[in-house]
């Protein structure tokens, strides 16, 4: 690591949700523009928003986004430890893409610290072997100065010291108390850690930047650390970093022609599936908790779930299930993704108690809107998939020969009990089904397929008597690239990285 151009960089935050993930993505794109090969890395992440890489391994979506910003294909080495919360202070634990067990909060560090550190070192070694001239760009987790956790830290300052990384400390001014955030974080660093902090970044500033000039000077005088930039509040809608960011998003589409209700399940997962719909200018999403009024939307989407049976029980115990059945009986369009597809079915079986709180032989009725049966097993379906679209009708919506792309990430195998009434939505018959106005798929990322997304939206528009949207939009990955470029443009405009890079 003697070459300064290869010295690792690290983005730390004064708190969770400070904007570390997007700032890391911006830094990756900016270094890529300068001719370097950035290597995004987050040693340990806790998220239900996942991605499956080309080798069939699970990783956090935020590291996949950073990989795209760096011009790389995502791989699990970029996020070697992933915790997927599943309630009752437990999480499914993923090491280097594969499930290795269930971790309990109270015993996590005693049981999993050493295996986690080994997974992190293996991920680092893999990336450096593949890209010997690349520069690691690391993202921390939460706050790096949680004093009760510092001795057991896996992914913040322990990693920064191990790699001699130069660190950028990000503080969110939108939350208030930014001076206390920065000064308090620096004060809690140990003497050996303080020299690692090369700069401060103030994030999400509203108004004219010169209004913060006095505050900038104060921070530099009182901390001795340069403030490298003040990032403005970005109006573009970027992929959310975690569920908190998702729930804080407010639609700014007063003239939207369609409204889709999305069920905000208690164990909501893979909510990035909805980003392509958020990006549609003619469409507004409305998130509905179990028990809240469903209303009369143009469609209802049931997204993925980490705890399918528990989330189904929450729906059944509320008024939402009754409203949803009434809505479907009136030919209202309903679309389920992964766990949402399973909930639409007739029966869900859990013979080994994998989804039902550890009780074997568990069998529960589904919402009864699709004639499918799901049986949960120990193995996961983890793979990227491609299949020719069969629905919406190819002849009517110009989808003839169109290939759907996405990935599977689920437990449970489903089959249609009434094949004469249940049409596959793709040539791979196990990817999903449609019956009348009710449809669902196991394919995460289905809405990223632009022509397919528009075909589905045009079905909804046809019901409303609206003119169809153009059938050949760019895929969402192209929109994602444009957003990453806009993010990097703003980063380069508002952040001076000389002290971090030199």
Catalytic residues: 338, 444
> In angstroms, rounded to a whole number, what is the distance separating the alpha carbons of residues 415 and 347?
11
Tokens representing 148?
């009760």
Residue 491 in contact with residue 26, Cβ under 8 Å?
Answer: yes
> In angstroms, rounded to a whole number, what is the distance separating the alpha carbons of residues 287 and 292?
10
Q: For residue 235, which of 467, 487, 476 has the smallest C-alpha distance?
A: 487
> In angstroms, rounded to a whole number, what is the distance separating the alpha carbons of residues 22 and 65?
9
> In angstroms, rounded to a whole number, what is the distance separating the alpha carbons of residues 488 and 497?
13
Residue 407 in contact with residue 448, Cβ under 8 Å?
Answer: no
Burial class (CB in 10 A: 0-12, 13-18, 19+), 406: buried
Residue 92 in contact with residue 100, Cβ under 8 Å?
Answer: no
Secondary structure E strands in 53-112: 58-60, 81-85, 90-95, 98-104
Q: Which residues of 438-456 are buried (b: 16+ CB within 10 A; e: fewer)?
A: bbbbbbbbbbbbbbbbbbb
Tokens representing 270?
């893979």
Tokens 């208690």 identify what position? 266
3-state secondary structure of 3: coil
List CB contacts of 132: < 8 A, sequence separation 6 or more.
none
Sort residue 497 into left (φ over 0), alpha (ψ -120 to 50) or beta: alpha
Torsion of CA 170, 501, 493, 173, to 10 degrees: 10
Answer positive or negative: Cα dihedral of 342, 348, 349, 353.
positive
- The per-residue DSSP string of 186-221 comes to HHTS-TTTGGGEEEEEEEEE-S-GGGGHHHHHHHHH
Reported residue count of the chain is 502
């Amino acid at each position: 690591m003697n070459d300064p151009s290869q010295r690792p960089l690290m983005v730390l935050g004064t708190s969770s949700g400070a904007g570390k993930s997007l700032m890391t993505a911006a830094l990756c794109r900016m270094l890529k523009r300068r001719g370097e090969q950035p290597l995004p890395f987050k040693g340990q992440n806790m998220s239900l928003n996942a991605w499956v890489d080309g080798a069939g391994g699970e990783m956090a979506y935020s590291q996949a986004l950073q990989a795209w910003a760096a011009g790389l294909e995502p791989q699990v080495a970029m996020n070697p430890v992933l915790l997927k919360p599943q309630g009752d202070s437990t999480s499914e634990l993923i090491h280097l893409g594969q499930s290795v067990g269930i971790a309990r909060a109270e015993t996590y560090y005693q049981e999993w610290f050493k295996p986690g550190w080994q997974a992190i070192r293996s991920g680092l070694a893999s990336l450096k072997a593949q890209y010997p001239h690349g520069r690691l760009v690391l993202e921390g987790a939460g706050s790096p100065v949680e004093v009760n956790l510092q001795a057991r830290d896996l992914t913040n300052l322990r990693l920064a010291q191990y790699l001699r990384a130069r660190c950028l400390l990000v503080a969110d001014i939108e939350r208030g108390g930014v001076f206390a955030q920065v000064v308090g974080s620096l004060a809690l660093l140990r003497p050996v850690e303080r020299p690692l902090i090369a700069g401060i970044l103030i994030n999400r500033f509203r108004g004219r930047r010169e209004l913060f000039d006095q505050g900038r000077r104060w921070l530099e005088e009182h901390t001795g650390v340069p403030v490298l930039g003040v990032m403005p509040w970005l109006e573009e809608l970027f992929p959310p970093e975690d569920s908190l960011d998702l729930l804080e998003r407010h639609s700014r589409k007063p003239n939207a022609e369609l409204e889709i209700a999305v069920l905000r399940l208690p164990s909501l997962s893979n909510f990035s599936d909805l980003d392509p719909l958020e990006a549609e200018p003619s469409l507004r999403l409305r998130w509905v908790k179990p028990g809240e009024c469903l209303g009369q939307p143009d469609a209802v989407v049931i997204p993925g779930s980490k705890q399918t049976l528990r989330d189904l029980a929450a729906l059944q115990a509320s008024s939402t299930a009754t409203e949803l059945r009434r809505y479907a009986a009136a030919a209202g369009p309903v679309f389920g993704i992964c766990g949402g597809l399973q909930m639409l079915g007739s029966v869900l079986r859990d013979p080994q108690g994998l989804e039902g709180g550890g009780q074997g032989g568990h069998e529960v009725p589904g919402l009864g809107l699709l004639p499918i049966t799901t049986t949960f097993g120990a193995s996961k379906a983890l793979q990227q998939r491609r299949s020719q679209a069969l629905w919406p009708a190819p002849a009517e919506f110009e989808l003839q020969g169109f290939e759907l792309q996405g990935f599977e990430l689920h437990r449970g195998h489903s089959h249609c009990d009434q094949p004469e009434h249940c049409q596959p939505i793709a040539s791979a018959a196990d990817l999903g089904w449609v019956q009348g106005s009710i449809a669902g798929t196991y394919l995460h990322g289905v809405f990223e397929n632009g022509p397919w997304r528009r075909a589905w939206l045009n079905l909804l528009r046809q019901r409303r008597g609206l003119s169809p949207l153009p059938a050949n939009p760019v895929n969402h990955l192209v929109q994602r690239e444009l957003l990453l470029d806009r993010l990097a443009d703003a980063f380069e405009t508002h952040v001076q990285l000389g002290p971090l890079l030199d």
